[in-house]
Amino acid sequence: MAMELVALVLAAMLLLTVIMRRYGGSAGSSKHGRLPPSPMALPFIGHLHLIRPPPHRAFDRIIARHGPLIYLRLGPSTHCVVVGSADVARDFLRFEASIPERPLTAVTRQLAYGSAGFAFAPYGPHWRFMKRLCMSELLGPRTVEQLRPVRDAELAGVLRAVRAAAERGESVDMSRELIRMSNNAIMRMVASALPGDMAEAARDCAKQVAELVGAFNVEDYVAMCRGWDLQGIGRRTREVHARFDALLETMIRAKEEARRDPLPRDKSRTTKDLLDILMDVAEDEAAEVRLTRENIKAFVLDIFTAGSDTTATSVEWMLAELINHPAYLEKLRAEVDAVVGGSRLVGEPDVAQMPYLQAVLKETLRLRPPAVFAQRETIEAVHVCGYTIPPKTSVFFNIFSIGRDPACWEDPLEFRPERFMPGGASAGVDPKGQHQQLMPFGSGRRACPGMGLAMQAVPAFLAALVQCFDWAVPLPQGTPLDMEEAEGLVSARKQPLVLVPTQRLRPLPAGAAAALA
């Protein structure tokens, strides 16, 4: 019913074409200068009719037809450009000071406590302080290492479920197991003492947040629709925000009570979780920026929603690609056996000694980036590639297209980890934002601060699954696996990854055996 209402409203608005022609053209092409190429637009709605879900695929189709830098008008007054090649991305990022902001949508404004968090905060003293705090404390190497036992414990839970399925000769839904592992790990890294029912509630909230943020909301593009909530997205957003806020309040109050206790119940726990670090900063009167309660809640929500689904999705895509390419799976398994052997469980410290594992990760991030585009907004005119991009224009770096740019990648649609190995065409390319042809974590000042954690934890999770188990696709499906993507903020698989495991090492290596005992 909501979509029918939207269609009726848009149809009615088309009747205003004669009036809106005067205002609904390009983003000031005569006033600001020459705009990039653009598909033919419809009156009033502009190019909205071309953005069929998922949007990164729609952008990719338009890029293939019109070139690596295109201009789109979404609605009567929302202007954007889409970047679809490494060369154009590199040219754009030379003017990063002119594109420092991430635009807020109606949904993110509500969920992120306005701009109180980090992900959508305007560039300024608060954002710079939170960035330094992320890199040095919250997601710095020391904290990531101190919280490694949390991730190891959650991996053990997945191995336990897989072993039980193998003993019964049954299949296991790896999509469900990996998202549970990822969400639990992030939540326990945020607040180590967390009841199980709270983790379940957080997992459900995070799923709905991802759906809402990734949904098309007509209010963001057509000003006349604002306040009407024709699709019910506003109502759902308020409900999810209220649930998540209550959850965060419970976590913070429990932490405050524990911090007031002069005799902690668990004297063995000396490692601070992320909430401890944030509350230490909030209580520091000498801190450059004083964090409020809303800052803390918004930042925890940022960490949870950005880090949980993306981790699970990356492991899932890696495993699916290897099953579709068994020769690469065997090559990776041979590396794991050579470096680790069968007497202990592979872990995060081993990743640095496994170049082929790292190559599999890079190739998966190239073809299947969990965040398929990065969005910025210009604060002043930007002159790039002979075009002028006006102020207040959204800039979409279509990471999906950039990773498949034939100017940078030989056989760009093929899964070939060898391209990243010594002697390969892309041996020196890494995904941390310095090489624009591979930027799954974004690039520049707005790059994902959790990339170090992802580059350490994601390949270790995969290596443990490959080391301990053989994997088969249930009949009658057989291989190859369906690799279609689902809609949403994170580009996950459309179909669950259901596999039949067989225990490969008997007994399981030390570490795994202890965890499963």
83: left (phi over 0), alpha (psi -120 to 50) or beta: beta
* Cα distance from N-terminal residue to C-terminal residue, the chain: 53
Is 205 one of the annotated binding-site residues? no
Query: What is the enclosing helix (H) or strand (E) of 472?
Result: strand 469-472
* Beta strand spans in 144-220 (E): 172-173
Instruction: Give 475's Cβ-side CA count (13 Å radius).
Output: 0
CB atoms within 10 A of CB 215: 17
- The residue count of the chain comes to 517
> Which residue in 344, 347, 304, 307 sits closest to 450, CA to CA?
307
Q: Is 512 helix (H, G, I), strand (E, B) or coil?
A: helix
Q: Under a CB-based contact definition with an 8 Å cutoff, are residues 212 and 233 in contact? A: yes
Distances in whole angstroms, Cα of residue 512 to Cα of each of 153, 160, 162, 358: 10, 9, 12, 22
Alpha-carbon Rg for the chain, nearest whole angstrom, is 24
- C-alpha of 198 from chain center: 23
CA 441 to chain centre: 8
Q: CA 241, 242, 246 angle in degrees (round to 5)?
A: 115
85 closest CA partner among 72, 68, 70 = 68
User: What's the DSSP call for residue 397?
Assistant: E
Q: How many of the other CB atoms lie within 10 Å of CB of 152? A: 18
Q: Which two tokens stand for residue 185?
A: 């790990």
Tokens coding 75? 């609605």
- Beta strand 78-83 with 69-74: parallel, antiparallel or unpaired? antiparallel
Binding residue numbers:
448
Binding residue numbers for heme:
448
